[in-house]
Amino acid sequence: MSRINSNIPSLIAQSHLSKNNKELQLRLERLSTGLRINRGADDPAGLIITERIRSDLNGIEQAIKNVERASSVIATTEGALAEVNDLLTSIRALMVEAANTGANSKEERAANQLQIDSAIDSITRISNTATFGGLKLLNGSLDYTLSGINTAEISQARINSASLIDVDSLEIEVNVLASAQVGALYYPGQSSDPTHLGEILSTTVLEVTGPNGVEVLTFASYTPLSDVVAGINKLTSITGVEAELINSDVNSGIVFQSADYGSGSFVSVKRLNAPSSGDTWATYRFPDEAEVPDTTGGFPWGSVTSAQRDAGRNVSALVNGNLATGDGLEVSVNSQSLAVELLLAEAFATDPDGANSTFHITGGGALFQVGPEITPLQQLGTGIPSVAASNLGGVLDDGTLHFLSSIKSGGENSIENSVDRGDFTLSSKVVQSAIDQVTILRGRLGALERNSLETNIRSMQAAYENLSASNSRIRDADFAFETSKLTRAQILASSGTSILALANQQSQQVLQLLG
């Protein structure tokens, strides 16, 4: 049956030709862009996941750049600290040379002091000038800022890292659980001869040993205990042992104690010669778990045990509820959210019944974004304190902190011309403490770079490679597949055009019926 109003074969040919042209267009688009997904209609689910992957890739790429920059900052900082270390070791060498007073003249020691002064000035200059792209590195601008510290309770605080995400300030609470103690031995004196109370009855040879060394002292018969105390204290720098009268009374006896607190300090007092008839010599100590008593109100001799040696005890404390590591008067905590080192004041560290001490970290620190997500788990914070001479050292002596600047000749609260005076004990402690601080800071920054930044870069590079491969597998076009589909679409489009022409010609055949 022949009809001309509706050319059904032509309509069918047009429909298939349109589909073939769309297919041809799709293949040409994919081959020209190299992408299988160019719009949401191509693969809605695939588009969602690939856009998320692309976001992750951009974040990882920037994080890698951040870590590389952070490594550069740390390397620059460490280089400046190395110079400070060299200057400190040269100061130590100059002090050791000046201590050789039997072979050096006063003028030579004065010249050494000038070199020490110059080196101290250079350390402060490095602290003020070390920069990275305009960022001051060692002047304290990258250290944490603190408020509310009671110096009568906490002599010094160093914050190595702290998480301040979503908080204006972080409260630090310190609670002393068990007091710091010195090693202490107690000699009650003798009471067998009432006419010689507060004296040694016979010649006594004592071997006094402490953390610094050992000395042997000989005291004649009837030497007052006050003279024994004076003799012990003259050698404190050699032995590390101090002595004092109990209740400031020669009739009450003597306390022999280590000059420093902590388990590393000890005192040993041993009589080397045999006592004479009627003479008694015995030293005592308190049990390890007992608190050292306040002897001003009387001495509880019934609670002590006979001993010739006693060791000190580290302070035990909680810092924000975490049990801190004690070392003498110092406590430290190292956790994911807080790493802090505190030097407690003597009165606070030896009073476990006292009130807690609190202060706040209000900001500061160097914060490194080392991951693609802005979360505390993908950030590293560290404090880089000032290494100016007025901030290095920090040795506590008689309740006063002495810094490296105090070794310089002149100046307020200085150890005046320590090299010229020949008094090197405190000065050498300050220099050694400064060397330790700078060395530990270099080690801490080196550990951060090696164990955190470098490993983070490697892990993110691996993640970047794997995510790129996943994104390519989903989003990129397979050229072999698309080329074969293009060839098919080209053939179908050409054949469809030819068929449409034949379908249109078929309607003209009705003219033959009109003759």
What string of pLDDT tens digits covers the 515 residues of the chain? 566 677 788 888 888 888 888 888 888 888 888 888 888 888 899 889 989 999 999 999 999 999 999 999 999 999 999 999 999 999 999 988 888 878 878 888 888 888 999 999 999 999 999 999 989 999 999 999 999 999 999 999 999 988 887 788 899 999 999 999 999 999 988 766 677 788 888 899 999 999 999 999 999 988 999 999 999 999 998 999 999 998 888 888 899 999 999 999 999 999 999 887 777 788 888 776 555 555 555 556 567 788 999 999 999 999 999 999 999 999 999 987 889 999 999 999 999 988 999 999 999 889 899 989 888 888 888 999 999 998 998 887 777 888 888 888 865 555 554 566 556 778 888 899 999 999 999 999 999 999 989 999 999 999 999 999 999 999 888 888 888 888 888 888 888 888 888 878 777 776 677 76
- Compute the C-alpha angle 452/458/460, nearest 5°: 95
Q: Is 340 among the domain residues?
A: no
Q: Is the dihedral of CA 317, 319, 320, 321 positive or negative?
A: negative
Contact between 344 and 140 (Cβ < 8 Å): no
Q: Is 285 among the domain residues?
A: yes
Looking at residue 287, what is its pLDDT?
72
Looking at residue 296, what is its pLDDT?
54
Q: Is 234 among the domain residues?
A: yes
> Tokens 């992957």 — which residue?
53
For the range 233-241, what are the long-range contacts, defined as Cβ-Cβ under 8 Å and sequence gap of 24 or more? 235/208, 237/212, 237/425, 238/212, 238/213, 239/208, 239/209, 239/210, 239/212, 239/213, 239/214, 239/215, 240/210, 240/211, 240/212, 240/213, 240/265, 241/208, 241/209, 241/210, 241/267, 241/269
> Tokens 């003020």 — which residue?
128
Q: What are phi and psi of 385, to 5 degrees?
A: -75, 165
Q: Is 222 among the domain residues?
A: yes
Number of compact structural domains in the chain: 1
Looking at residue 417, what is its pLDDT?
46
Q: Is 162 among the domain residues?
A: no
Looking at residue 439, what is its pLDDT?
95
Q: Is 287 among the domain residues?
A: yes
The number of angstroms, rounded, from the C-alpha of 263 to the middle of its chain's C-alpha atoms is 24
Q: List beta partners, residue 303.
A: none
Q: Which residue, among 71, 150, 180, 144, has the nearest Cα to 358 in the 3D structure?
A: 150
CA end-to-end span of the chain, whole Å?
Answer: 18
Looking at residue 419, what is its pLDDT?
61
Q: How far is CA 292 from CA 111, 251, 422, in A?
A: 47, 20, 36
Cα 132 from Cα 134, distance rounded (Å): 5
* Alpha helical stretches, state H, 251-408: 346-349
> Tokens 């100061």 — which residue?
91
Q: Is 296 among the domain residues?
A: yes
Cα 382 from Cα 142, distance rounded (Å): 8
Radius of gyration of the chain (CA): 41
Q: Which residue, among 153, 143, 159, 144, has the nearest Cα to 174 in the 3D structure?
A: 153
Q: Could you list the residue range(s) of the whole structural domain that residue 267 is in?
A: 184-311
CA torsion, points 150, 154, 159, 164, in degrees to nearest 10? -40
Cα 412 from Cα 355, distance rounded (Å): 34
Q: Is 454 among the domain residues?
A: no
Q: Is the dihedral of CA 265, 269, 270, 272 positive or negative?
A: positive
Cα 219 from Cα 14, distance rounded (Å): 125
